[in-house]
Amino acid sequence: MPYTERDVVVRGARLHLYEMGSAEQTLVLAHGFTDHGLCWLRLAQELAGSMRVVMYDARGHGRSDPPPAQYTRQDLAEDLVALVKALGIDRPVVMGHSLGADTAAWAGALAPTLFHGIILEDPPWNADLYARHAAERAARADRERSQAEANRQRGVAELEAFIREHSPTWHAIEWRTWAEAKALMHPGAAQIIASPRAPWEALIPRISCPVLLLTGDNDLGALTTPEAAAEVVRLGRDVHHVQISGAGHSLRRDRFEEVLRAVRGFVGSLAS
């Protein structure tokens, strides 16, 4: 099934969208840091027969506008809330990966009645990931900025060859979209790394809709720790946790069928 593309102006910024399907229920997909909307393409193709699927490029990623000089994780969440309202979507399900899971959870806390369900794919809820001091976060952001500049110089073909070698089990769609995203990312988007972590312990209790938390194996690179996952379940009003064995940080790329089955089951439960 083909997708269509368009731009929507949200909070003063032009966000680029990719859309598939036309069913009443809508799934909005929020990608992770350095990815872009089409990194969801394989999953969207499977779900678009029964749902309308909206993939979008966050600021500084893909074909959306770069972020302003000061831009935080909360800004990403406010962009998502404003996008759903601008599109006039009635209570969509939102799914986010990594930084996009941060975004989805924060959006759910900001607008508790806006979403029908929230799916979190390996949110970066691991205390060891975050520098406590602003100077350390700024230094890491500078490193990410340099990497983004280098990726733009390398180009899609070289980046795709790299990811094929390092992730040989991924589907070809994942290789291509991963490489395209890295080549398109604006170096200014790296500043998000300098902002403090999402206060997920305070956000989760404010989410009123059901939540599906998908986690992988930390030994393979997954970020959410078992302790954090247990705390999400404890703090949330209605949280379902599915641990995907054999998956690293990119759960759907590593174990696509298992993630697809979990997503379909969760969305189906919302309709019952």
pLDDT of 198:
86
In this structure, is residue 187 part of a structural domain? no
Distance CA 71, CA 79 (A): 11
Q: Is residue 169 part of a domain?
A: no
**Region class of 11: left (phi > 0), else alpha (psi between -120 and 50), else beta:** left
Q: Looking at residue 51, what is its pLDDT?
A: 95
Report the side by side order of strands in the sheet with 26-30: 4-10, 13-20, 52-56, 26-30, 93-97, 117-121, 211-215, 239-243
Q: What is the pTM of this model?
A: 0.96
- Which regions in the chain score pLDDT beneath 50? none
For residue 22, the model assigns a pLDDT of: 87
Count of Cβ atoms closer than 10 Å to residue 238 Cβ:
12
Q: Is residue 150 part of a domain?
A: no
Task: Give CA angle at 68 (96, 3), nearest 5°.
Answer: 40
Q: How many domains does the chain have?
A: 1
Q: Which residue has the tokens 């379902």?
A: 240
Q: Report the SS3 class of residue 29.
A: strand
Residue carrying structure tokens 């500078």: 142
Q: Residue 202's domain spans which residues?
A: 4-129+197-271
What type of residue sits at position 140? R
| Residues 4/75, Cβ–Cβ less than 8 Å | no
Domain annotation covers residue 161: no
Token pair, residue 46, equals 């499977």
Phi, psi (degrees; rounded to nearest 5) at 180: -60, -40
Does a structural domain hold residue 151? Answer: no
- The CA-to-CA distance between both ends of the chain, in Å, stands at 27
The C-alpha atoms of residue 63 and residue 37 are separated, in whole angstroms, by 9
Handedness of CA 242, 248, 249, 250 (dihedral sign): negative
- Confirm whether 174 is domain-assigned: no
Instruction: Look up the CATH number of the domain holding residue 125.
Output: 3.40.50.1820
The answer to whether residue 107 sits within a structural domain is yes
* Amino acid 157: pLDDT: 97
Note whether residue 235 is domain-resident: yes
